[in-house]
Amino acid sequence: MSDVTLIDGKAFSEGLRGRIGQEVIRLNKDHNIVPGLAVILVGEDPASQVYVRNKGKQTVEVGMSSFERKFEDDITQDTLLKLIEELNADDKVNGILVQLPLPSHINEATVLAAISPDKDVDGFHLINVGRLGTGDDAAIVPCTPLGCLMMLKDKLGDLSGMKALVLGRSNIVGKPMAQLLLAQSCTVTIAHSRTKDLANECRQADILIAAVGRPQMVPGDWIKPGATVIDVGINRIDAPEKGEGKTRLVGDVDFNSASSVAGAITPVPGGVGPMTIACLLRNTLAATCLQHGLKVPEV
């Protein structure tokens, strides 16, 4: 490894959650408000269960109310839509998140569209997607790209004029990430599975965001020397070196080779991952303030 800086998402997210906790205390003291976050989980997907458990725990730790609604995967779409309607009307609930993916008999777009845009702390509602795309300050921004942007600004300061490459075009990460970087006046390229000469595209980038879900796909020699690399991937791979049947987590970037070229890089685990829930809590705080006509605090 050269003199690469590790971007410590765990430490950053702990600081962020601490500041959110202070603002929650202030909201309670000055306005008698306790922000509430409702999370809906359908089915038994083990990764989703872990996420939802961690969300609930961290919501309570910052002083917010956590409402968890769990269902078998045979719940009907209508039942889910009725529940969302109830949560939309519930003053104690300021944020609503439906954990994805949903079972195939439920239409994800219909469910996401049913959440009130003001309580859509995931930022997936078309109104919030449109607000982000048009530079409207009222946009609630998806948590993972928001966390990436916070770390980038913390490391680099002003991003304007930088070349940014976003690898991946999902609605959850790639597309909103590109919009956020564009709003920071970066020159943005979105690359994907059909991009020609991907290595060369990556080598132009001062900022490289990898969000494709393919383990260790980006090698060090695709990275511009000194570039800042944000690895959104969380992939579990076999790790026979740790013993038979063992596994380990890796990102979309080959960390070892990338570390000898990049100026700064997020590790996996401990980079982007911990920022996502912290940003969800930040969005819940912001949504609560907006619903009460209060100024959204900088955290």
Distance between CA atoms of residues 164 and 129, nearest Å: 20
Integer Cα distance of 101 and 197 in angstroms: 32
Site for ligand GUN contains 254 (CB under 6 A): no
Tell me, yes or no, if 122 is annotated catalytic: yes
Interaction residues for ligand GUN, span 128-147 (CB under 6 A): 143-144
Six token digits for residue 271: 């980079």
From 58, 118, 119, 122, the catalytic residue: 122
State the nearest-atom distance from the C-beta of 144 to ligand GUN, in Å.
6
Among 172, 190, 208, 262, binds ligand GUN (CB under 6 A): 172
Does the annotation mark 82 as catalytic? Answer: no
CB 122, min distance to ligand GUN, A: 5
Between residue 85 and residue 124, which ones bind ligand GUN under the rule CB under 6 A? Answer: 97-100, 122
Name the residue nearer to ligand GUN (CB basis): 16 or 172.
172
Other beta carbons less than 10 A from residue 147's beta carbon = 29
Pick 172 or 281: Cβ nearer ligand GUN: 172
The site that binds ligand GUN (CB under 6 A) totals a number of residues, namely 8
Say whether 70 is catalytic.
Answer: no
Cα 83 to Cα 99: distance, rounded to the nearest angstrom: 14
How far is it, in rounded angstroms, from Cα 96 to Cα 114?
Answer: 11
In whole angstroms, how close is the CB of 237 to ligand GUN at the nearest point?
A: 19
Q: What is the set of active-site residues?
A: 55, 99, 122
Binding residues for ligand GUN (CB under 6 A): 97-100, 122, 143-144, 172
